[in-house]
Structure 1
Amino acid sequence: MNIVVLVKQVPDTATERTLSPADNTLDRASSDGVINELDEYAIEEALQLKEKHGGEVTVLSVGPDQASESIRKALSMGPDKAIHLNDAALHGSDALQTAYALAQVLRTIEFDLVVLGSESTDARTGVVGAALAEYLELPQLTLASKVDVDGSDITIQRATDYGYDVVAAQLPAIVSVVEKINDPRYPSFKLIMAAKKKPVEKLDLAAAGIEADRVGLANATTETVDFAAAPPRAAGTIVKDEGDGGQKLAAFLAEKKFI
């Protein structure tokens, strides 16, 4: 089974994230880049499927030069190789354009399954998997908390308020996963050293067959018109209980529209 796992480098959520005033896009240089958390679960799931069914796992990432750091970290978890789509013309691409670019890369390789996190911690659009499936005309199985493959059949469980739904399809397919699906492994020293020698294929727009007028900030389908820094946190409200504390608390919650 040939599995492609999508990995995105995002700003570390432990640091302050900012936008660039020059073009209202994410200022990636202002904070350290890390693997999108949900993508680590996708990597782990791809590795577990490989261990059960054989084959290989390929990491696919779209991003600038610094994304190579996260690609190497992803490889240190156990995947076999990686593809890095990196072109200055991709700067400012939105979720739909990114899905198109990923689809074009995937058209150049053979795969049975694409696994990705259900959303990224920077944009949180949650639409890349669905858009990718649309571009490739493949079935999508979203928000998977469990994945089973039997031959060409794939089945997932999707958690619900009443238990879970079972969704089935035929390979090839696109699967997005949630954090409850597994516990990502920690890279061993041996895997970290081995990752330095694993092949990383680098592609630009031309090599991937991507039309330049369909990606980039100038051609984006969405736009950040304006932004402002969050206001400083105000001091909390202290309610003194003088026998009517419950009434005061209820009034405060009602004022804030919590009740």
Structure 2
Amino acid sequence: MTLRIVVCVKYVPDAAGERRFAGDGTVDREGVDGLLSELDEYAVEQALRIAEGSDGEVDVTVLTVGPEDAREAVSKGLRMGADRGVHVEDGGVHGSDVMGTSLVLAAAVEKAGFDLVLCGMASTDGAMGVLPAVLAERLGVPQVTLLSEVSVGGGAVSGRRDGDRASERVEAPLPAVVSVTDQSGEARYPSFKGIMAAKKKPVVEWDLDDLGLDADGVGLAGAFTEVVEAVERPARTKGEIVTDEGDGGLKVAAFLAGRKFI
């Protein structure tokens, strides 16, 4: 029997770019380069490690929701070694918050078929970290979140969750939703063989109609949250040079105190 793993990934604006909001209060994804969220790469890596360590058949699907450019997130997962991809693209999804996104993901995961869903601990743009829990609730399955170590066997998924003072072992029966941290294992770089093989791997495209969803329940219209106002970060000003004439320390202290840093 094949173990079906679905990895949810997100195409996000490059953190090194100049990020800003669009006129409708959503993140401007057109004016900056994008890439697969780094934290989601750890989820892809864990899925591949589970597949490599399994005695049985394992099928790894990479799933994303987003505009045309978001297909690159799926492509990166395929180059790393995933077997197939799913790209949900529909203009009605634009502006979805975590509630709308989780609704679309849940419908896509169910349509794809799953035994285990893997997610990163958060996205590098929204950084909320709640989607895995909401997704598990929508799917009606257990959630095992923030794992730094993951294993699958005996019809269950288990792992280690590290806290500030202690670590704990957690386990849940399959099917389940799991999120992994950036301590779970360094994500691999795609090999030349993986890059070439990815060109032949299947990627299906679905829209809201394919998933049986109404546009009124997602996007800006169905969002539980709204950006009312956004102010652009002020430009960096020229720094102040302190000339040390024997009292440099006092001048630096006065500068810091004047800005309430000390």
Using the size of structure 2 for normalisation, the TM-score is: 0.91
Q: CA deviation at 1:151?
A: 1.4
Distance 1:192 1:236, change over 3 A: same
Q: Distance in 2 between matches of 1:152 and 1:241?
A: 72
Query: Relative to 1, partners in 2 of residues 1:217 and 1:193: Cα closer, same or farther, differing over 3 Å?
Result: same
Residue in 2 aligned with 1:34? 35
How do 1:1-259 residues align onto structure 2 when only pairs under 5 Å count? 1-21=3-23, 23-53=24-54, 54-236=57-239, 242=246, 245=249, 249=253
Number of equivalenced pairs: 257
Paired-residue identity, %: 48
Measure, in 1, the Cα distance between the counterparts of 2:183 and 2:30.
31
- What is the CA-CA distance between 1:238 and the residue it aligns to? 5.8
Deviation at 1:230, TM superposition (A): 0.5
- Provide the secondary structure at the position in 2 that maps to 1:120: coil
1:189-244: CA deviation from partner (whole Å, max 9, x where unpaired): 11111111110111010111222211011221100111121012234566658479
Partner of 1:157, secondary structure, is strand
| Inter-CA distance 176–248: structure 2 relative to 1 (3 Å threshold) | same
The offset of 1:165, in angstroms, is 2.1
| Distance in 1 (alpha carbons) for counterparts of 2:36 and 2:18 | 16
Give deviations 1:7-42, integer Å, cap 9, x for gaps. Answer: 110111111112112x11111111111000001111
| Change in 2 beyond 3 A, CA 1:247/1:158 | farther
* Cα distance change, pair 127–255 in 1 and its aligned pair in 2 (3 A): farther
* Runs of 5+ consecutive residues of structure 2 not aligned to the other structure: none
Q: Which amino acid aligns with 2:9?
A: V
- What does the per-residue CA deviation read over 1:138-197, in whole Å, with 9 as the maximum and x for residues that have no partner? 111111111122211221211212231222211111111111111111111111111111
Cα distance change of structure 1 residues 248 and 29 upon mapping to structure 2, 3 Å threshold: closer
Q: Secondary structure at the match of 1:56?
A: strand
Letter of the structure 1 residue corresponding to residue 11 of structure 2:
Q
Give the AA of the match of 1:215: V
Instruction: Give the TM-score normalised by the residue count of structure 1.
Output: 0.92
